[in-house]
Amino acid sequence: MRNRKILLHILCALLCLSITDAMRADEAATKKRPSVETLLAAIKSADPKGAEDRVVRDSAGKVIELKLSVRTLNKEVVTELRNARDLEALTVGCCIISIGKDLAPSLGELPRLKALRMLGCGADALPKLPPKSLGKLRTLFISYQVVTPDIAGAIAALPNLEELEIQSQRKLTATNLAPLVDCPKLKSLNLSGSEGGEDLVDILVQMKGTLKSVDLRRTNVSQESLQQLRDAGISVRTK
């Protein structure tokens, strides 16, 4: 009987040690796991004076918006960006082309992103996104970049995109824009300042099922074509 009690005490002690070790291991793993603070440290290292101006937090202290430009967009920041999983709005601007291409893996890890602005770089990352990425994205802004058919196809695959701006696009052709016909929820399209012209109108008319408005300021679309869009039920802004 006595030996049985001793054995029971030993088993209980071993069990307690096992539980304690497991808790310590879990705590250590949590401490080592990358967090948004790692990203913020990388941003501050790249831009010590302006780091705080690039970050917006909500009332709970979560980082919900980031504004990153050439000064802060280095490889470390791009890699750590994937840890900002509460992010709802992101601006990337004027980065090195090679870094723009590296954005895809990190963008694919931002499940709450609703607004994305790509100023002069980053659009070439869109075709490389993992399937079903950016499922909550509602607004996409692209400027001073060539939107190829591959990029337009990736945009069209965004299931909840409602607003798209493609500004100052020099080589915007009907071929490049055609994949957007399949964008399921696109309501507003801004093509202001882009060189496209008459050949874009047929594509825009095909989008009449969902497209409600199009901005064609500073384009060379004729009045006749503008009326064709209006007749299709699409509101047109020209001034």
Strand duo 63-68 + 55-57: pairing: antiparallel
- The yes-or-no verdict on residue 53 having pLDDT over 70 is no
Residue pLDDT, tens place only, 15-34: 555 555 555 544 443 344 45
55: part of which helix (H) or strand (E)? strand 55-57
What is the pTM (predicted TM-score) of this model? 0.82
Residue pLDDT, tens place only, 83-132: 999 999 999 887 665 666 788 889 999 999 999 999 888 888 899 887 78
Long-range contacts (CB closer than 8 Å, 24 or more residues apart) made by 125-129: 125/100, 125/101, 126/151, 126/154, 126/155, 127/151, 127/153, 127/154, 128/101, 128/104, 129/104, 129/154
CB-neighbour burial class of residue 48 (10 A; exposed 0-12, middle 13-18, buried 19+)? exposed
Q: For the domain 34-237, what is the CATH code?
A: 3.80.10.10
Task: Output the CA angle 227-229-232, nearest 5 degrees.
Answer: 110
Of all residues in the chain, what percent are helix, strand and coil, respectively (each to 5)?
45, 15, 40
Residue pLDDT, tens place only, 142-189: 988 889 999 999 999 999 999 999 987 777 888 899 999 999 999 999
Per-chain mean pLDDT for the chain: 83
Q: Determine the Cα–Cα distance for residues 123 and 104; give it in Å rounded to an integer.
A: 10
Residue type, 112: R
Q: Using a pLDDT cut of 90, give the percent of the chain over it.
A: 42
Q: Could you say which DSSP state residue 61 is in?
A: S
Give residue limits of the domains in the chain: 1-33, 34-237
SS3 187: coil
